[in-house]
Amino acid sequence: MNNSKSEMMKIVHLDMKGAPMKVDYLEKVFQVIKSWGVTGVLLEWEDTFPYTGELDEIGSVKNAGGDNLYSLAEVTHLLACVKQLGMEPIQLVQTFGHMEFALKHPAFRELREMDQAPAVMCPTKSKSLQLVMAMVDQALQVQPDATYFHIGADEVWHAGICTDCQAKLGEDKMTKSKLYLEHVKRVVLHVKSRVPNISVLMWDDMLRPMDAETLIEYAIGDLAIPVIWHYSTVECFGLTKEMFNIYTHLFSKVFVGTAFKGANGSCQVLSPAARYVSNHEAWLSHMKENERVNFIGVILTGWSSAITHISGRQAMGAVLKHFVTCPTRRISLDVSKINVHFHDFKGGRSKVFPINKAARGILSFDNLDKNRNIYMFVHGFATYMNHPIADLVRRTFKAVPNSYLILIDHSAYTNDFDGKKKSYKREEQIRSGVADYVEVYHCDHGALGTKSVLGDIDFFVNKGSAQPQCKSLTPSNKCSHNVCVSMWMASVAHRDWFPARNCDKYEAFKNWRYDHYATLCELLPVALPSLASCLKVLHRDHDGIPMEHALCEDILPSHEWPGEEVARSIHTFVILRERAIGLLTSEMVRTWLNPWQIARRYTVPVHVEGIRVTAHHILSELVVLKADLTNSLLRITGARSTDEWVHSYIEPLITKVTRLCRIADERVVCEAGVKPM
Residues marked as catalytic? 155
Beta strands in 438-548 (DSSP E): 439-443, 457-460, 500-501, 519-520
Distance of alpha carbon 81 from alpha carbon 181, whole angstroms? 35
Strands 40-44 and 88-92 come out as parallel
Amino acid identity at 603: T
Q: How far apart are CA 626 and CA 576, in angstroms?
A: 11
**Residue 170, burial from CB neighbour count under 10 angstroms (0-12, 13-18, 19+):** exposed
SS3 per residue for 8-61 = CEEEEEEECCCCCECHHHHHHHHHHHHHCCCCEEEEECHHHCCCCHHHHHHCHH
Q: Provide CB contacts within 8 A for 177, sequence distance 6+.
A: 210, 211, 214
Residue 178 vs residues 46, 114, 145: alpha-carbon distances, Å? 26, 19, 32
* Alpha-carbon dihedral sign for residues 96, 102, 104, 108: negative
Q: Give dist(CA 244, CA 241) in Å, integer.
A: 5
Q: Between the CA of residue 491 and those of 2, 19, 323, 467, 627, what are the distances in Å?
A: 39, 32, 11, 12, 37
Separation between Cα atoms, residue 358 and residue 360, nearest integer Å: 6
Residues in CB range of 49: below 8 A, 6 or more apart = 59, 60, 70, 75, 93, 135, 138, 139
Strand locations in 262-302 (E): 295-302
Note whether 88 and 150 are within 8 A (CB).
no
**Cα–Cα distance for residue pair 21/312, rounded to 1 Å:** 33
CA dihedral of 357, 360, 365, 366, whole degrees rounded to 10: -120
Would strands 225-229 and 88-92 be described as parallel, antiparallel, or unpaired? unpaired
Q: How many CB atoms lie under 10 A from the CB of residue 420?
A: 7
User: 607, 491, 577, 5: which is closest to 283 by C-alpha?
Assistant: 5
Q: Which residues of 22-36 are buried (b: 16+ CB within 10 A; e: fewer)?
A: bbebbbebbebbbeb
Q: At what angle do helices 564-584 and 605-636 cross, to 10 degrees?
A: 160
- Residue 675's SS3 state is coil
Within a 10 A sphere around the Cβ of 252, how many other Cβ atoms? 10
Check whether the bond before 70 is cis (ω within 30° of 0). Answer: yes
Report the relative pairing of strands 349-354 and 500-501 from DSSP bridges.
unpaired
Long-range contacts of 658-666 (CB under 8 A, 24+ apart): 658/619, 660/583, 660/584, 660/589, 660/593, 660/611, 660/615, 661/612, 661/615, 661/616, 661/619, 663/593, 663/598, 664/593, 664/608, 664/609, 664/611, 664/612, 664/615, 665/612
Q: Which of 296, 238, 349 is nearest to 1 (CA)?
A: 296
Buried b (16+ CB within 10 A) or exposed e, 372-405: bbbbbbbbbbeeeeeeebbeebbebbeebeebbb
Separation of CA 574 from chain center: 19
